[in-house]
Amino acid sequence: MEGDVTNRKCSALTGSARKIKDNAADWHNLMLRWEKANDEGFAIATNIVNLRRSSGQTVEQSSSEHAAITAQLQQECGRLQDIVDKMAAILSKMQRLMASQRGLVDLEDFQFGPEGRKVPLFHSWRTKHFEQQSGVLLRCFSEELRVKRMVQQEVAHSATPDLSLVYLSCWLHQPKMAAAGRVALEAMLLETGHRAL
């Protein structure tokens, strides 16, 4: 019986509530796409590091072997650039989500004044809180893209194997994707009913 009420309530969402719920789902889907690109990029960056090691280890390499490794290295660097470009496109979609969320806040300011809506659209968050959490997410992904670009530019030119491992670690562990970003997304999903309380 309770499930029927929830389903009716969700299917009846319109206006700002529907847009906010859709935005939360879009944030989640974009994060999944980002994570997939991150995994692909890590595999490519690992290939780059391994190719760099193999090109520097053998003194007896023929010029044709060295040329083949160099060509592979260039190909992998191009593939890593493609991944970073894909991540930049994901970030661009996130920026549009942020603009949409700001638009909802502006609309509510116009409709209800600076105090906003008297009753929350979902459990407890005001529309401005969704904007704030979207801002947290956007900052995390923006900073992480800067790290990805730096790693992409430097990983094939690292002076030492240890530095190569630092670059790989930075790519894999995403230091700018703070726990705050993951918590913000999960809280948004809980608030909008995408996750059960």
Instruction: Collect all residues with Cβ–Cβ distance below 8 Å to 2 and sequence separation of at least 6.
Output: none
Asked if residue 133 has pLDDT above 80, the reply is yes
Asked if residue 11 has pLDDT above 60, the reply is no
- Mean pLDDT along residues 24-34: 97
Per residue in 80-101, pLDDT tens? Answer: 999 999 999 999 999 999 999 9
In a domain, 4, yes or no: no
- pLDDT value of position 56: 67
Euclidean distance between CA atoms 118 and 115, whole angstroms: 8
Q: Are 20 and 127 in contact (CB under 8 A)?
A: yes
Q: Are 145 and 88 in contact (CB under 8 A)?
A: yes
Distance of CA 36 to the CA centre of its chain: 10
In a domain, 2, yes or no: no
Instruction: Collect all residues with Cβ–Cβ distance below 8 Å to 30 and sequence separation of at least 6.
Output: 90, 93, 94, 97
- Ramachandran class of 158: left when φ > 0, alpha when ψ lies in -120 to 50, beta otherwise: beta
In a domain, 8, yes or no: no
- Mean pLDDT along residues 114-132: 89
| Structure confidence at residue 6 as a pLDDT band (50, 70, 90) | very low
- pLDDT value of position 1: 36
- pLDDT value of position 179: 83
Residue 156 or residue 197, greater confidence: 156
Arithmetic mean of pLDDT over the chain: 89
CATH number, position 169: 1.20.58
- pLDDT value of position 158: 87
Determine if the pTM surpasses 0.85. yes
Tokens of 32: 């999944």
If one counts the domains in the chain, the total is: 1
Quote the domain boundaries for residue 40. 14-192
In a domain, 30, yes or no: yes
In a domain, 147, yes or no: yes
- The helix-helix angle for 15-57 and 127-154 (nearest 10°) equals 10
